[in-house]
Structure 1
Amino acid sequence: MTMAYKGAAATAAGQAQRRRTRRVVMASIAGNAMEWYDFFIYGTAAALVFGELFFPKGTDPLLGTMGAFAGFAVGFLARPLGGVVFGHIGDRRGRKIALEWTLGIMGASTFLIGLLPTYAQAGFWAPAAMVLLRILQGAAAGGEWGGGVLLISEAVEGRRRGFFSSFSQLGVAGGFVLSSAVFMLAQQLPRDAFMSWGWRLPFLLSVFIFGIGLYIRRHIPESEAFVQARKTARRGMPAVEVFRRYPREVFTAMGLRVAENGGSYIFLAFALAYGKFLGISSDLMLGGVLLSMFVELGTLVWFGHLSDRIGRRAVYLLGSAGLMAAAFPFFWMVETREPFWIFAAFLLGNTVCHAAMIGTQPSYFAELFPPEVRYTGLALGHELASVFAGGLSPLIAMALLRKYESATPVAWFLVGLAAITVITLLLTRERRGGTGREQAGPF
């Protein structure tokens, strides 16, 4: 009887844990998608309309787009600051409260972008206000990713951490799919209406997205790993502790991030501007992006599962080395101007190369740091690299295109980004399945 009772209790406990895991996974995906919708909508608008509306371009049609991408880059400069601030809150007060703050700041700044006057209406005050709001977006994004990852990775067992942690990236990819779809719908308006007020609609929708996301996040249980770690955590600043005790891990995360982040914004932001430069319909280019990101929702989870089987480093190497190989073919396929090859280019870049890295990244990064500084460690490694990788990549690519009127230098730039990550991987030893620093806890 006693054995039967214990067996039933264990079964009930297992079922309760599985229900909790499913709840956390679904809530994390939905909350992340709401927040990353807000962040990505700027990149789409920067490539297609902001250069014309907010940044003086003179006689050079590429100059205004470069100005819009400069504002895009400024947002990335604020991401490490957001990582420090919200990482501190997440490591000291809880993952949930940090994520509620990031969502609120992101939603408010995105909504206000939709209300801004244009350059023709307000002069230089318009781009100045745009850049300020982009900085707020960047700070919120800097604190978002680490917390979104930890909600899941700290709630699952080590042997399947790669698979379940990859679901946190569904929110990131889903946010981009949602933002691209809404922007495509807005572009169906007559051009004059779209340029006058239609472009504002995707930004103004963020007020509803904020409400949905906040409701979801307030009903997520706090991470048990955080609750346990808080009992024995040091009282110092988490950012100081990370750099003092785990500098190698921070630089490892930064190196791993370069190819994924820089490559993704070449494919997702610069490619739209390049298509416009070639005279390709923006609907066709957005369609390619949207299709590839939709398919990536499945492939990134599969790559996360594969990392549990063959190791994080092997899968990440597949993605980064694949990016080096795909750099030139991507632009060759776009330059055909044929829908089939354009779609194939985005599928190659996003659903294979990018998915292999982004699907493995959450578990790989989480295993680098212990729970008491994990939020801060993830945020710093992730966001410091984003400043010069994702933040500057579209701007550098536009500058290269403006100077050489060719995508060949951009392809070489992409190869260089991928090479940094490949070298980092070759210098990094595997920490798979929670066998690294953390030996106890819910993993």
Structure 2
Amino acid sequence: MTADPKDAPFPTSPPLTAAATGSAPAEVRRVAISGYLGNTIEFYDFILYGSAAAIVFGPLFFSNLSPALGTIASFATLATGYVVRPLGGLVLGHLGDRWGRKQVLLLTMVIMGLASGLIGLLPTYHQIGVAAPLLLVMLRLLQGFAVGGEWGGAVLLAAEHAPPGRRGFITAIGQAGLPSGGLLSTVALAGISLLPGDQMLSWGWRIPFLFSFVLLAVGLYLRVRIAESPLFDELDAALRRKETPLMTVLRRPGPLLRGIAVTTPPVVCSTLIGSFAVSYAVSLGVPRSTVLNALSVAWVGAIVMTPVYGLLSDRFGRRPVYAGGAIAFAVLAYPLFWAIGSGSTVLVFLAFFTAFTFVSVAMSAALGAMLAEMFPTAVRYTGISAAYQLATILAGFTPLVAGALLALAGGGHHIGWVALLVLVVSLIALAAVRSGRESVGSSLHEAHEPAAEAVR
């Protein structure tokens, strides 16, 4: 007996065509470069805020509080961006499954670039009082909303253009934009930290944010030149309007829950090391310039190694590459924080370099292709964005939670509870990876039955 199409867990895709084997090599290169530069720009803006929250936002926007409370308050504004990211992922993911990937990616870039540039124009608490932190939070919310739709769209656009045997490598090129954005933001803050303290707090901190306007112009020029996803173009318009993509994803929640679990460790690693560890090291007496230089070197290593891990995921599979990074994160969390707080310049450099070059990117390089292979074309933007951005809620609060755990433990070098948090999220992710199937080499151009099997 033939099943009724309306009972299918995901919408049916059209018959197999040439899109199943990937776009022309020249177009794949353009999409990969565009994804890389787009992620670089978006995460430059987003990570810049996290670094600024650890260093300058406390005295600028919360000067009415003690230094400790000011730092906590600035981390709280950092978390608001992560809280709104799931909303951005759901709204923009829905639009991406209806309008197309390219149009939504242009929108996310405009919102992010304008919000970040305007932060550089904000008056401080000394100038307009409580309105200053309120405006800061509002712009941070816009940043979070934009990033909510950027990452998923960039990943799936690259995945849907790439040939199956190269999908891990092509999506990893885009993933390398995350450490590239981190490097740009860290170098920018390291540069302004060379200014005298009063000049850095009066005008120097604004320069990296104002530079976002320049990056916005460059990013838009590159993004308008790429082609829409061939898989999206083949979807029938009536199929795209059939129902709400989120409801389609929630009908079979297994891939969504698994996607949330595997996304959590790499984004926790990024915020824990890239933001909390910076503040932690400085609080223990490590010079701010030393920490930022160590972080810059670590970002460089991550940029180089992300495509390498992507190639390894095409060669050996997504699951072993990801699992290696998750296990390393669980095992090395305590030694890494011990080294960061040791006061030794060599150990500080080694800890940051290890965390980003060999731990975080092993997970993030495999993650893009892994998530893209969990969902069918008609709801892929919504599925990827929902999984990734719901996981970032925990990541956004990680610096705040880590700071609270450290304070409850007595501060200083009592970092054991933070390491325990890392162990828990890593074990959950490993269980989720084990429960899924290996998807390397699979086609994203699915008919109904392969799609149904993929989401089991």
* Aligned-residue offset at 1:57: 6.0
Is 2:443 aligned against 1:438?
no
Supply the distance in 1 between the matched residues of 2:203 and 2:217 (Cα, whole angstroms).
23
Out of 417, 420, 435, the position equivalent to 2:428 is: 420
Q: TM-score, normalised by structure 1?
A: 0.92
Once the two structures are superposed, the pairs formed by residues 249-288 of structure 1 within 5 Å of their partners are: 249-288=255-294
* Aligned-residue offset at 1:407: 2.1
Is 2:251 aligned against 1:235?
no
Amino acid paired to 1:131: V
Is 2:434 aligned against 1:429?
no
Out of 38, 42, 56, the position equivalent to 2:45 is: 38
Superposed CA deviations along residues 288-337 of structure 1, whole A, max 9, x for unmatched, are 11111111112111111111121111111101111011111101211221
Identity of aligned residues (%): 38
Q: Is the 1:326–1:348 Cα contact (8 Å) retained in structure 2?
A: no
* Aligned-residue offset at 1:408: 2.3
* Aligned-residue offset at 1:264: 1.5
Supply the distance in 2 between the matched residues of 1:114 and 1:181 (Cα, whole angstroms).
17
Is 2:2 aligned against 1:22?
no
Supply the distance in 2 between the matched residues of 1:114 and 1:83 (Cα, whole angstroms).
25
In the alignment, what sits opposite 2:156? 150
In the alignment, what sits opposite 1:62? 68
- Distance change (3 Å), C-alpha of 1:437 and 1:399: farther
413-422 vs 313-322, which moves further: 413-422
Once the two structures are superposed, the pairs formed by residues 152-191 of structure 1 within 5 Å of their partners are: 152-191=158-197
Is 2:410 aligned against 1:378?
no
Query: The residue matched to 2:396 in structure 1 has which SS?
Result: coil
Q: Is the 2:89–2:148 Cα contact (8 Å) retained in structure 1?
A: yes
Q: Is the 2:377–2:444 Cα contact (8 Å) retained in structure 1?
A: no
Q: Is the 1:369–1:437 Cα contact (8 Å) retained in structure 2?
A: no
**Structure 2 unmatched ranges of 5 or more:** 1-20, 451-456
Supply the distance in 1 between the matched residues of 2:244 and 2:362 (Cα, whole angstroms).
34
Amino acid paired to 1:399: A
Q: Is the 1:316–1:360 Cα contact (8 Å) retained in structure 2?
A: yes
CA RMSD of aligned residues (A): 1.9
Query: The residue matched to 2:227 in structure 1 has which SS?
Result: coil
Is 2:213 aligned against 1:207?
yes
Amino acid paired to 2:60: L
42-51 vs 185-194, which moves further: 185-194
Query: The residue matched to 1:354 in structure 2 has which SS?
Result: helix
- Distance change (3 Å), C-alpha of 1:251 and 1:180: same
* Aligned-residue offset at 1:242: 1.4
Superposed CA deviations along residues 147-187 of structure 1, whole A, max 9, x for unmatched, are 11122111111111111111110112211111111111121
Supply the distance in 2 between the matched residues of 1:35 and 1:130 (Cα, whole angstroms).
18
Q: How many residues align?
A: 425
Q: TM-score, normalised by structure 2?
A: 0.90
Amino acid paired to 1:314: P
Is 2:402 aligned against 1:397?
yes
* Aligned-residue offset at 1:112: 1.2
Amino acid paired to 2:247: V
Amino acid paired to 1:432: V
Supply the distance in 1 between the matched residues of 2:327 and 2:347 (Cα, whole angstroms).
22
Is 2:348 aligned against 1:337?
no
Q: Is the 2:376–2:444 Cα contact (8 Å) retained in structure 1?
A: no
**Structure 1 unmatched ranges of 5 or more:** 1-13
In the alignment, what sits opposite 2:5? none
In the alignment, what sits opposite 2:355? 349
Out of 361, 364, 373, the position equivalent to 1:367 is: 373
Q: Is the 1:79–1:141 Cα contact (8 Å) retained in structure 2?
A: yes
* Aligned-residue offset at 1:134: 0.6
In the alignment, what sits opposite 1:292? 298
Superposed CA deviations along residues 90-129 of structure 1, whole A, max 9, x for unmatched, are 1111111101110111111111111111122222211111
Once the two structures are superposed, the pairs formed by residues 34-113 of structure 1 within 5 Å of their partners are: 34-56=41-63, 58-59=65-66, 61-113=67-119
Amino acid paired to 1:438: E
Query: The residue matched to 1:154 in structure 2 has which SS?
Result: helix
Supply the distance in 1 between the matched residues of 2:71 and 2:446 (Cα, whole angstroms).
46
Q: Is the 1:263–1:417 Cα contact (8 Å) retained in structure 2?
A: no
Q: Is the 1:259–1:420 Cα contact (8 Å) retained in structure 2?
A: no
